[in-house]
């Protein structure tokens, strides 16, 4: 069976950094860029050089340091933007300019007060300017998710002819359903004559919670690059989460794809990004949330303690998490109680546990979680009650 490489394009430092409150200074950006390189991403979108002198400086410094990933700078389809991006990237070993323009009728009319033909010409011109400055040029068709497929195919064919090496099909507003996004990529694969000369990229936003599903659907339909961020950070409801797509591809090896990412570094990098950006991760977040490997209901705990595979599809070590946790609440069962008591040194019989369990529930009903101190108290009280006088 064929096994295709999916390029991981990380945009934590650009789309992720657009989140209010997540702005990074150059030192912080460099630290995260090095962690992303070490994680094994293929492309680091380091910033939007024309947006501010600070971001220009960050892209320039990241370009000097990163050697094992392409470094990418964003631009609009504007000559000055493209020239500034090239300047910021001049020290990069593998520089990439990411340029593009809105292609949906809504963007063409509302944002540009223009026409489809004029936008197509501007797209081609932008790619030509960029190709005069660097070898690797990615074109984005902003709001491709809501762009008419026939027109989108014409734009994509024209920008590839102009020299685009990667064509990004963003679902900018997170509007598409997974089958629609997959069909869009499939349409391009089948209707763009020169599509074999470029890599198709997915850039899906999470407004309906479908970013990961849409990106995977895109890859199944022929895309070979996913744009994503650590912890799913990004505009509004965020971007496709890097850790999710990497683990979907790894868990479903039968799909025939792989990435270069070292999954054991996912949790450490997630924590670093959360701390540096001061943006905590929701506890129930897949792969990197603090509850991703916690079991608290009696039925789950009992099964998990008999065989972890009953309730865990990923070994926490595989993603660098601390390990599975048995959390005690009023919904927990006797097996979990016995397990946690055993961990702090008490080996009780089944009958002992039956008795302690009644007391445990009384405590658990008054609290969110029964902690180690509560367990010590329960065990000691039980032992004291059994001492003959």
Binding site for ligand KIV (CB under 6 A): 15, 140, 142, 168, 170, 172, 203, 205
Long-range Cβ contacts of 267-271 (<8 Å, 24+ apart): 267/319, 267/320, 267/321, 267/322, 268/35, 268/320, 269/35, 269/36, 269/39, 269/230, 270/230, 270/231, 270/243
Q: Scanning residues 304 to 363, which ones bind Zn ion (CB under 5 A)?
A: none
Sign for the pseudo-dihedral over CA of 280, 283, 284, 287: positive
Q: Which is nearer to ligand KIV, 228 or 337 (CB)?
A: 228
Q: Which is nearer to ligand KIV, 217 or 267 (CB)?
A: 217
Give least dist CB 15 to ligand KIV, A: 5
Query: Is there a contact between 71 and 89 (Cβ–Cβ < 8 Å)?
Result: yes
134 Cβ contact partners less than 8 Å away, ≥ 6 residues apart? 86, 89, 95, 96, 97
DSSP structure class, residue 104: S
Return the one option of Zn ion, ligand KIV, none that residue 168 interacts with (CB less than 5 to 8 A, by type).
Answer: ligand KIV
Q: Which is nearer to ligand KIV, 226 or 328 (CB)?
A: 226
Give least dist CB 74 to ligand KIV, A: 6
Give least dist CB 309 to ligand KIV, A: 38
Return the one option of ligand KIV, Zn ion, none that residue 63 interacts with (CB less than 5 to 8 A, by type).
Answer: none
Q: Scanning residues 2 to 31, which ones bind Zn ion (CB under 5 A)?
A: 15
Q: Which is nearer to Zn ion, 12 or 263 (CB)?
A: 12
Return the one option of Zn ion, ligand KIV, none that residue 140 interacts with (CB less than 5 to 8 A, by type).
Answer: ligand KIV
User: Which residue, judged by CB position, is nearest to ligand KIV in the bound state?
Assistant: 170
Give least dist CB 193 to ligand KIV, A: 24
Return the one option of ligand KIV, Zn ion, none that residue 142 interacts with (CB less than 5 to 8 A, by type).
Answer: ligand KIV
Counting contacts by CB under 5 A, is residue 142 touching Zn ion? no
d(CA 139, CA 100): 5
Query: Which stretches of the chain are DSSP H helices?
Result: 26-39, 53-65, 79-88, 105-106, 116-131, 149-161, 178-191, 211-220, 242-251, 266-276, 298-306, 334-343, 350-364, 372-386
Q: Which residues are registered as beta bridge partners of 226? A: 8, 202
Give least dist CB 154 to ligand KIV, A: 19
Q: Which is nearer to Zn ion, 100 or 320 (CB)?
A: 100
DSSP 281-329: PPTT-TTTSTTTTEE-SHHHHHHHHH-GGGT-SS-GGGGT----EE---
Give least dist CB 10 to ligand KIV, A: 13
Return the one option of ligand KIV, Zn ion, none that residue 45 interacts with (CB less than 5 to 8 A, by type).
Answer: none
Q: Scanning residues 197 to 226, which ones bind Zn ion (CB under 5 A)?
A: none
Q: Which is nearer to Zn ion, 217 or 240 (CB)?
A: 240
d(CA 370, CA 363): 7
Q: Which is nearer to ligand KIV, 167 or 292 (CB)?
A: 167
Residues contacting Zn ion: total by CB under 5 A: 1
Give least dist CB 235 to ligand KIV, A: 7
Residue ranges in contact with Zn ion by CB under 5 A? 15
């Amino acid at each position: 069976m064929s096994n295709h490489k999916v390029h991981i394009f990380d945009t934590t430092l650009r789309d992720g950094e657009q989140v209010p409150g997540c702005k990074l200074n150059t030192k912080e950006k460099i630290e995260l860029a090095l962690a992303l390189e070490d994680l094994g991403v293929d492309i680091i979108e380091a910033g939007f050089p024309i947006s501010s002198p600070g971001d220009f400086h960050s892209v320039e410094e990241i370009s000097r340091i990163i050697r094992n990933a392409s470094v990418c700078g964003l631009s609009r389809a504007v000559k000055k933007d493209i020239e500034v991006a090239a300047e910021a990237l001049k020290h990069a070993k593998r520089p990439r300019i990411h340029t593009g323009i809105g292609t949906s009728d809504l963007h063409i009319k509302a944002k540009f007060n223009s026409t489809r033909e004029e936008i197509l010409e501007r797209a081609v011109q932008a790619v030509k300017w960029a190709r005069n400055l660097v070898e690797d040029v990615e074109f984005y068709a902003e709001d491709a998710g809501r762009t008419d497929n026939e027109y989108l195919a014409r734009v994509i064919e024209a920008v590839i002819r102009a020299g685009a090496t990667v064509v990004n099909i963003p679902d900018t507003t997170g509007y598409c359903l997974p089958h629609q996004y997959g069909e869009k990529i499939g349409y391009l694969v089948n209707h763009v004559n020169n599509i074999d000369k470029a890599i198709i990229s997915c850039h899906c936003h999470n407004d309906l919670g479908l970013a990961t599903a849409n990106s995977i659907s895109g890859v199944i339909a022929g895309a070979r690059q996913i744009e994503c961020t650590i912890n799913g950070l990004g505009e509004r409801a965020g971007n496709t989460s890097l850790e999710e797509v990497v683990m979907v591809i790894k868990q479903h090896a039968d799909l025939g794809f792989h990435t270069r990412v070292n999954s054991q570094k996912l949790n450490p990098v997630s924590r670093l990004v959360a701390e540096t950006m001061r943006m905590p991760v929701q506890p129930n977040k897949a792969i990197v949330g603090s509850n991703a490997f916690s079991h608290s209901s009696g039925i789950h705990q009992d099964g998990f303690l008999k065989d972890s595979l009953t309730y865990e599809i990923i070994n926490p070590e595989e993603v660098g998490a601390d390990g599975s946790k048995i959390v005690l609440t009023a919904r927990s069962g006797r097996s979990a109680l016995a397990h946690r008591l055993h961990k702090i040194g008490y080996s009780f019989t089944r009958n002992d546990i039956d008795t302690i369990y009644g007391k445990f529930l009384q405590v658990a009903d008054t609290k969110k979680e029964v902690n180690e101190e509560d367990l010590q108290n329960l065990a000691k009280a039980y032992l004291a009650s059994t001492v003959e006088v």
